[in-house]
Amino acid sequence: MKRFYKETAVDACDGGFRVLLDGRPMRTPAKAVLVVPTRVLAEAIAGEWAGVPEKEEIKTGLLPLTRLAATGLDRVPGQREQVIDDTAKYAGSDLLCYRASAPSSLVERQRNTWQPLLDWAAERYGARLAVVEGMSFVTQPVEALGALRAAVAAHGDMALSSLYNLTHIAGSLVVALAVAERRLTAEEAFAAAQLDDLYQIERWGDDPIAIEQRAGVRKDIAAGSRFLELLEGTRLRGKGEA
C-alpha cells in the first residue's frame, strides 16, 4: 500500500491520544482506533507515518512503534495470560545464565557484563537465577521463576507487547526487564544480548549477513526501549494501563 495521506496529527480522546491521517483516526489491523496513553507516544507514531515518502510504499518495518502499539491493542488483551507465559518462560533458559568455560577472556567478559544484571534481578525481584558453564542445562528455582513471572504480569498491555519483543530478541527476560526498568539503555542491552557474537567478531572478523542481522537486532531493541520510555508513567500500572 502506498502513502495515501498528506498530513499527520495527534489529538486527545477518551482513553488517551490518537493519531490522525488527514484528520481521520488511524486504525489497527483489527480496525480498532489506535489510541495510546501518552501524547509523546502518539506524536512519535505520527512521526513514523509522516516520514513515509510521498507515493512510496508503506513498509511496516519502518513503523516499529506503530506495530508495538497495534499489538498491545489487538492481540495482548485477548490472550494476556498466554503472552505473560510466553515472555516469562524465557527465565527458565535465560541467556545470562549460560556461561562459557573458556577462553578466559570470554569467561571474564560474560561475568563482568551478565552477573551484575542477575544480581540486580535478585535484588529487584527476589529472583536469584542459577548459572552454569558449558552445555549443561540448569533447572531454575521455582520461587525465582514465579517472581519473574509476577514482574512480567505487572506490565500493562502495551508495555507487555514491547517486553515480549525485547525478551524474544535478546533471548533474556532479565535484559528485557532491565530495559523496562531503565537499568539498561538500548545500546547496553544490545551489547549484553550480543556479547558472544561481538566477542567472536573481535577474534575472527565479520561478514555481511551477520552485520545485517545484528543491525536488525539493534534496531528492534532500540524501538522496544523507546516505546517503553514513551509509555513512561503507565508501563507498570497493570492491565488496562489506567
When pLDDT is averaged across residues 124-136 and rounded to a whole number, the result is 95
E strands within 123-201? 132-133
Residue 206: is its pLDDT beyond 90? no
Could you tell me the CATH superfamily of domain 79-230? ATP12 ATPase (1.10.3580.10)
Other Cβ atoms within 10 Å of 174 Cβ, number: 30
CA–CA gap between residue 100 and residue 164 (Å, rounded): 26
Cα gap 127→145, rounded to integer Å: 7
pLDDT, tens only, 7-60: 999 999 999 999 999 999 999 999 999 999 999 999 999 999 999 998 889 988
pTM over 0.85, yes/no: yes
Arithmetic mean of pLDDT, 178-199: 97
What local confidence, expressed as pLDDT, does residue 242 receive? 34
Domain 8-63 identical in fold to domain 79-230: no
Residue 81 pLDDT level (bands cut at 50, 70, 90): very high
- Of 213, 231, 201, the residue nearest 40 (C-alpha): 231
Contact 160, 168 (CB under 8 A): no
What pLDDT score does 141 carry? 98
Domain residue spans of the chain: 8-63, 79-230
Q: How far apart (Å, rounded) are the C-alpha atoms in residues 149 and 45?
A: 29
Q: Is residue 200 predicted with pLDDT exceeding 50? A: yes
Q: Quick one: what percent of the chain has pLDDT higher than 90?
A: 86
pLDDT at 235 over 50: no
Architecture of domain 8-63: 2-Layer Sandwich (3.30)
What pLDDT, on the 0 to 100 scale, is given for residue 220? 97
The residues near 215 (Cβ < 8 Å, ≥ 6 apart) are: none
